[in-house]
Structure 1
Amino acid sequence: MRKGRKVEAGATAAKASKSLILKKNDMPFLPQEVIFNILVRLRADIVYKFRSVCKSWYNLIHDRVFIQSHLGHSIPGLIINRNFLERKFIYEPDFKEMKDKKNIEQDLKYGSIGEVIGSCNGLVLLKTKRNCLSVANLITKQIVDLPSASSENLDSWYHQCGFAYVPETGIYKLVHLLIDEYTVTCEVLSLGCSGRNTWRCVNGFSLSSSSEDERWEFYGSKTVTINGIVYFVGVTHVQSSSMHIVSFDAGAEVFHMIRAPVHEITVSDSFLELGGVLSFVQATKPFKCNTYIVWILKDWLKGTWVKQHVISLRKPSMGCTLHWSDSSDFLHVVSSFSHGGRKIIIFEIKSSSEILSHIAYDLELNQESEIQFDVRGCPSGFFTHVNSLISPKLV
């Protein structure tokens, strides 16, 4: 790098890397903190490629402080499971980074390593081809196999499995809810501590003590994890038809149960994380409706819910403009994410002609925009995700 030459603000990552090459005496042109502040703002896939530039960059990229700082700068997005039926149910997850008003930066393609059933800080929980559980980083391609839980059939229970991070201890935990007609318990697998990779039982509470005739059932909706709290939604009291939410504090390892804001949910509805709180997005008319109510859980201990938003959706037309959906369209919520003060809900719209379109609704701006997704395969699940450099071998 000749004297007077500067790194242009709009340079690509490749040019930036060349401008930071070390001298023969292994002393960088730029101070270490400057290199740190540049690399920490780049996408995880780009940074990981730079680990082979030199030994000092390798050590920096694998440093825990750098990895945690990089996580804080990463932009969230969506993982989409794609099921290729003609290839014997092979899953190929894609990642869409959601950025600014465009909502999309690029696709990151991964190999076929299993079906994603959970995500936490850039690590994904996978159900592999052999119907086993693994934790993986899809950027670094590192994967750790996990022991089987008490239930051998993952197809029947993976909706009852939460993946959480406990910031106070730095431990990642898998929580598998166990529920029968009268009691709630769970088994927990702690990663990154002594006795790792061993499932252990945690006592819960009794669902009913007033009458042996009362019965509870698990609805089976997808779990939601927020700030170390795993929410298992859809525990129904059969006699009263009331719906409840069982939460599990992964740090303190204690249970709590509250009522849901409605008596039942449909496939058009969904429990989501919005701005760090549990929310419920409810269709005013299930299946054939473009109007939704957004409930916010104000107090998770008291179970206080508040109606905070009412939104009406439009769908894209052939001219790339948005117009109101009609009664022949099927709408449902698929995911959500929050970033930079924005709270976004992702909807899928299926027209009568089987054409799929996806809408991102910004609750703060009260406006929607179309998202273009790759139509390869059959989308079978959407998960909020952020790419990171965290290694599953170190948790």
Structure 2
Amino acid sequence: MPLPTLPFDVVVEILSRLPVKILMQLQCVCKSWKSLISDPKFAKKHLRHASQSLVLTVGELDFVVIANPLSSVFTEATTTTIQVDYPVKDKDDSAAIVGSCHGILCLSFCSQPMKVVVVCYPHTLVQGPVSNCRNLVKVHTLGTTSWRTIQDFPPNTLILNESGKFLRGAINWLAYRQRHSSCWVIMSLDLEKEFHREIPQPDYGGINVLSLNIGVLRDCLCIFSNADTFSDVWLMKEYGNKDSWTKLFRLPHTRNLGSWPLVYALYVSNDDQVLFDIEREELVVYNSRDGTFKDPGIQIIDKWMESEVYHESLISPCF
């Protein structure tokens, strides 16, 4: 009697939940599996189920990855780390994490820039006040050999010197604008249509906001509004819709963070525990339901670090 076979759509669901390393081995099982696993549509489906991990840069050149699924940070499970090799390793070069998108981790090195969208300012204007600032936006498409200049951002708008956050086909930056009064704005650049717009911010309720940071949580744009003694985390549930801003929770500061707090929420678990990066110096887990803190047990051997969450992925950068 022949062995029973599973419907192909059931096989696809099972395979889409397996780790990348196993899928690479399973490509050798048969031609149909090889064709499926190498299909870009399957890669996108796999990404939705892929496990998440935490990658850290410690100091200037040491990259460390939390080998366990990120969910283990919120449990009592032992968290192990592994050292990661990367293609450019020069003792005279400093490294940084630019960001992570669709399972691809982008790194930059001070002597080898790798960005594909650049916002730059003419040198003679950068020396003056923000009111005289004009910026240029240049795009480099992979496979070409030149940069293209596209529509400038509005004058008097200074993009902060941080990497943009990719979401919904657009890169989002926090910027500073000076007209009749100074204010913070979020600028969004649509990569397909190559036009920019300003993303509306939430109503902070009269709170004296010292600084803002932006990020991506639960596949939504988020804002971290930092005050003297706490930081509020806001989520934009419908991209571009001001009325969809929702305050997730308030993080009380456990120490004095100065006049420019740097607080980032890296990940929110299903039970509302949040992994925070505080001042690029420490990681803490905050339980927003009962207001308690705990140490995730990740040893930082240097006083400075950068952190990013990434997914296992079959998606190729297609260089």
Distance 1:176 1:188 in 2: 7
Asked if the contact 1:217/1:236 (under 8 Å) is kept, the reply is yes
Counterpart of 1:246 (choices 166, 178, 187) is 187
Summarize the alignment of residues 279-318 of structure 1 with structure 2, pairs less than 5 Å apart: 279-285=222-228, 289=229, 291-297=230-236, 308-313=247-252
CA spacing shift, 1:364–1:185, aligned 2, 3 Å: farther
- Would you say the 8 A contact 1:313–1:368 is kept in 2? no
Structure 2 partner of 1:90:
61
Counterpart in the other structure of 2:213: 270
> Is 1:226 equivalent to 2:174 in the alignment?
no
AA of the residue aligned to 1:90? L
Q: How many residues align?
A: 295
Q: Report how far residue 254 of structure 1 moved.
A: 0.7
Higher RCO (C-alpha 8 Å, min separation 6) = 2
Give the one of 118, 136, 144 matched to 1:176: 118
**Which of 196, 199, 202 is the matching residue for 2:150?**
202
Q: 1:365 to 1:250 in 2, by over 3 A?
A: farther
TM-score by length of 1: 0.59
| Whole-angstrom CA distance in 2 between matches of 1:62 and 1:110 | 25
User: How far apart, CA to CA, are the structure 2 residues paired with 1:68 and 1:366?
Assistant: 36
**Aligned runs of 1:1-395 on 2, under 5 Å?**
33-51=9-27, 57-83=33-59, 89-95=60-66, 97-99=69-71, 101-102=74-75, 107=81, 109-114=83-88, 115=95, 116-128=97-109, 130-133=111-114, 174-179=116-121, 181-191=132-142, 196=144, 198-207=146-155, 215-237=156-178, 240-257=181-198, 265-266=210-211, 270-285=213-228, 289=229, 291-297=230-236, 308-313=247-252, 325-326=254-255, 332-337=262-267, 344-348=274-278, 357-361=282-286, 368-377=293-302, 379-393=304-318
Deviations, residues 186-209 of structure 1 (Å, cap 9, x unaligned):
112234xxx6464321122542xx
Q: Aligned to 2:141, what secondary structure does the other structure show?
A: strand
Q: Are the aligned partners of 1:216 and 1:238 in contact in 2 as well (CA < 8 Å)?
A: no
Q: Percent of counterpart pairs with the same letter?
A: 19
- In structure 2, relative to structure 1, the CA distance for the partners of 1:388 and 1:364 (3 Å cut) is farther
Change (3 A) 1:178 1:371: same
C-alpha contact (below 8 Å) 1:243/1:260 kept by paired residues: no
Deviations 1:188-245 (A, max 9, x none): 2234xxx6464321122542xxxxxxx5544324422221221111323277332222
Amino acid at match of 2:119: L
SS of 2:42's equivalent in the other structure is helix
CA contact under 8 A between 2:53 and 2:65: conserved in structure 1? no
Q: Give the Cα–Cα distance (whole angstroms) in 2 for the partners of residues 348 and 280 of structure 1.
A: 15
CA offsets, 1:148-206, max 9 Å, x none? xxxxxxxxxxxxx5xxxxxxxxxxxx322234544343112234xxx646432112254
Equivalent residues of 2:214, 2:222 under 8 A apart: yes
The amino acid of 1:188's aligned partner reads: V
What is the alpha-carbon distance in structure 1 between the residues aligned to residue 54 and residue 313 of structure 2?
Answer: 14
Which has the higher Rg, Structure 1 or Structure 2?
Answer: 1
2:128 maps to which residue?
Answer: none
Secondary structure of the equivalent of 1:118?
A: strand
Q: CA deviation at 1:384?
A: 2.7
Q: Which range moved further: 177-186 or 249-258?
A: 177-186
**By how many angstroms is 1:388 displaced?**
0.3
Q: Structure 1: which 5+ residue stretches go unaligned? A: 4-26, 84-88, 134-160, 162-173, 208-214, 315-324, 351-355
Cα distance, 1:296 vs. partner? Answer: 4.1
Mapped to 1, the partners of 2:71 and 2:8 lie a distance apart of 28
The one-letter amino acid paired with 2:181 is S
Supply the distance in 2 between the matched residues of 1:298 and 1:50 (Cα, whole angstroms).
38
Amino acid paired to 2:117: V
Give the drift of 1:93. Answer: 4.2
Which residue identity is paired with 2:314?
A: L
Deviation at 1:371, TM superposition (A): 1.8
Given that residues 182 and 206 in structure 1 are in contact (C-alpha distance below 8 angstroms), is that contact kept between their aligned partners in structure 2? Answer: no
**Higher-strand-fraction structure:** 1
Partner in structure 1 of residue 127 of structure 2: none
